[in-house]
Amino acid sequence: MIQEIKEESSHSLNSRKNQEPRIAYFILVHRYPEQFKRLFKTIYHPENHYLIHVDQKSVSGVIQEINKFLLGYPNAYTLTSERVSWGGYSMVQSELKAMVYLLSHSLKWDFFINLSGQDFPLKSQESIIDFLAENPGKNYLKIANQSQERPNTMKRIDHYFTETNSGFSGTEAKRAFMKNVTSYIGGRWMILTRSCCEFICNSPEIKKFEDFYQNTLNAEESFFQTVLMNTSFSEEITNDDKRAVIWIPDGGMNLRPKTLTINDLLFLQEGDNLFARKFDMQIDEAVLEVLEMNLKAEKVAIFLEKALRPNESRKKVYLESASGISSSLTNN
């Protein structure tokens, strides 16, 4: 009986496997190779693809250690390391290069998800894949009308900024924004469809946005939002990046993500977020251990539910035999 269940479940799982969306992950890393490995293992799935960029500014040995680790994964690839500055257009460029790489290498994938090396999943890969399968053609990123909802950030586009190796230089004089374009803002974390990435990389409409945002502060938080809201792109956009983040003051009107600890578990369990940031295993490793245990338990539960779903009566027989409970007891 159990052998029959295994054979039937295997056939059903293989059939669903061919219909499941595949994910292309792009991960930006600049330190903590051991924490990156931990993240990678929790989001790994043989049908997905993983593109890694290690910041050229990383301490000695990080690039080599990560490259060595990835040798064991044929569906993992690396971009040539370049200098990426937080808040600079170089972050947008890294995302664009990642999309071009993933689109031009004959890889089969349906969704693009970007992460940092200090992110961590809140849901198993099986659960994330199920979510994407239920929401085809939908794109997820935070998005808001910049002048109306976050007017304090307008200085980022009102002035001309230049990215340098030591930071940014700006001009006192204001500059005009693009004509007939509304500026939007949100964040740099995204879940985009393949067709959305194709539009961003190939549409001639994008050129003027690239030209303008090259000299914009924190372009990674507004470039993609402004492009998608001011062009002929027509897919659905959901104002939600599916990330759990606690924002705390960082001087003036600036905010930064809090380093999450075991004390934030209740917050992490709320809502329907797929990922969270940021974590530092040197500050609190326990929170990652608990999340890993939750992911393993969820993965097992999803596998059993999917494998045994086709036949409820066989499911009952299998569970009874596995637990040692007699049918006479369950019938009472």
Closest CA to 23 of 288, 275, 332, 323: 275
Torsion angle defined by CA atoms of residues 304, 307, 311 and 316, in that order, rounded to the nearest 10 degrees: -30
Q: Is 113 a member of any domain?
A: yes
Q: How many CA atoms lie within 13 A of 10 on its CB side?
A: 6
pLDDT value, residue 284: 97
In a domain, 330, yes or no: no
Residue 315 confidence (pLDDT): 43
Is 35 among the domain residues?
yes
Q: Is residue 328 in a domain?
A: no
Tell me if 150 sits within 8 A of 185, measured CB to CB. Answer: yes
User: Is residue 331, in this structure, part of any structural domain at all?
Assistant: no
The ranges of the chain with pLDDT < 70 are 1-18, 166-172, 252-253, 309-332
Residue 41 pLDDT: 97
- pTM (2 d.p.): 0.86
The reply to whether 292 falls in a domain is yes
* pLDDT value of residue 307: 75
**What is the span of the domain harbouring residue 44?**
2-319
Q: What CATH number is associated with residue 231?
A: 3.90.550
Is residue 146 within 8 Å of residue 183, measured between CB atoms? yes
Domains: count for the chain:
1
Residue 193 belongs to a domain: yes
Quick check: bond before 278 cis, omega within 30? yes
Is residue 332 assigned to a domain?
Answer: no
What distance, in Å, lies between the first and last C-alpha atoms of the chain?
23
Looking at residue 170, its pLDDT comes to: 64
